[in-house]
Structure 1
Amino acid sequence: MDFLWVLMVFGTILFLGLSLLAIWAVYFHLSNTDIPPKVSQPFKLRVLHCLLIMLFGLVAVLKKMRLSNGYDILRSVMDGIPPGKDPHLSITNLILDGLPVRMYQPRSPCDGRRRGILYFHGGIGLYGSVDAYERVCRHIAKNSNSLVASVEYRLAPTNPYPTQFLDCLKAAVHFLKNVEDFGVDPASVIICGDSSGGTLAAAVCQSLVSRPDLPKVRSQILIYPFLQGIDFNLPSYQRNGRMPLLSQRHVVEFGLQYLQKDLALTSKALKGFHMSKEKRLKYGKWLWPEKKPEELECEDDAPTWPEESADEVFEPTFSPLIAEDAVIRQLPEMYILTCTADVFMDDGCLYKKRLEDNGVKVTWYQLEDGFHGVVYFIDHCLFSFAGARLGLDSIVDYIKSL
Structure 2
Amino acid sequence: MVLYLQLVVPRGSRQRRVMELFLGIFLAGLTSLVAAAFYYEHPKAEVPHGLSQRQKLYFFHYILNFTLGLAKFLEKVGIISEVSFLRTAMEGIPPLREKHLFIKDLSFERVPVRIYQPKASTTGQSRGLVFFHGGGGQFGSIRAYERMCRYFARKSNSVVVCVGYRLAPEHPYPASFEDCLSATVHFMKTAQDYGVDPSRIVVCGDSSGGTFTAAVAQELVNRRDLPKLRAQILIYPLLQYVDFDLPSYQQNKGVPALLKERILVLSLKYLNKDLSLMEAIFKGCHIPEDLQLKYQKWVSPDYIPHEFKKRGYKPRTTHPFSKELYTLVKPLFDTVFSPLLAEDSVIAQLPETFLLTCEFDVLRDDGLLYKKRLEDHGIKVTWCHLQEGFHGTIFLATYGGVIAFRSGNKGLEKTVDFLRLM
Name the TM-score, length of structure 2 as normaliser.
0.88
| Structure 1 residue 206 displacement after superposition | 0.5
CA contact (8 A) 2:133 2:163 kept: yes
CA contact (8 A) 2:138 2:169 kept: yes
1:218 equivalent among 210, 215, 230: 230
In structure 1, what residue type is equivalent to 2:272?
Q
Distance 1:358 1:38 in 2: 34
Alignment-derived partner of residue 158 in structure 1? 170
Alignment-derived partner of residue 392 in structure 2? 373
Structure number with larger C-alpha Rg: 2
In structure 2, what residue type is equivalent to 1:119?
F
| Structure 1 residue 302 displacement after superposition | 3.0
Alignment-derived partner of residue 11 in structure 1? 26
Distance 1:45 1:299 in 2: 34
Distance 1:323 1:176 in 2: 23
Distance 2:58 2:38 in 1: 14
The DSSP-based 3-state class of the residue aligned with 1:309 is: helix
Query: Relative to structure 2, which stretch is displaced further, 255-264 or 47-56?
Result: 47-56
CA contact (8 A) 1:125 1:258 kept: yes
Distance 2:218 2:181 in 1: 10
Distance 1:45 1:305 in 2: 40
1:205 equivalent among 211, 217, 242: 217
* RMSD between superposed Cα atoms in Å: 2.2
**Residue by residue, what CA displacement relative to the aligned partner does 1:112-143 show, whole Å, maximum 9, x if unpaired?**
11000000000000100011111111111100
Alignment-derived partner of residue 128 in structure 2? 116
Check 1:82–1:281 CA distance in 2 against 1; reply closer, same or farther (3 A cut).
same
Alignment-derived partner of residue 104 in structure 1? 116
In structure 1, what residue type is equivalent to 2:58?
R
In structure 1, what residue type is equivalent to 2:421?
S
Distance 1:73 1:155 in 2: 14
In the alignment, structure 1 residue 364 sits paired with structure 2 residue 383: yes
Alignment-derived partner of residue 157 in structure 2? 145
2:89 equivalent among 66, 77, 80: 77
Distance 2:18 2:162 in 1: 49
**Residue by residue, what CA displacement relative to the aligned partner does 1:357-387 show, whole Å, maximum 9, x if unpaired?**
1111111110111100111112424312122
Unmatched segments (≥5 aa) in structure 1: none
Alignment-derived partner of residue 316 in structure 1? 335
The DSSP-based 3-state class of the residue aligned with 1:310 is: helix
In structure 1, what residue type is equivalent to 2:29?
L
Unmatched segments (≥5 aa) in structure 2: 1-14, 304-314
Number of aligned residue pairs: give it.
Answer: 394
| Structure 1 residue 86 displacement after superposition | 2.0
In structure 2, what residue type is equivalent to 1:46?
Y
> Which protein has greater RCO, CA pairs closer than 8 Å, 6+ apart?
1
CA contact (8 A) 1:277 1:300 kept: no
**Residue by residue, what CA displacement relative to the aligned partner does 1:203-257 show, whole Å, maximum 9, x if unpaired?**
0010111211011100000000000111111111111011111111111111111
| Structure 1 residue 340 displacement after superposition | 0.4
| Structure 1 residue 400 displacement after superposition | 1.0
CA contact (8 A) 1:121 1:128 kept: yes
Distance 1:397 1:361 in 2: 16
Alignment-derived partner of residue 284 in structure 1? 296
| Structure 1 residue 261 displacement after superposition | 0.6
Alignment-derived partner of residue 339 in structure 1? 358
In structure 1, what residue type is equivalent to 2:344?
D
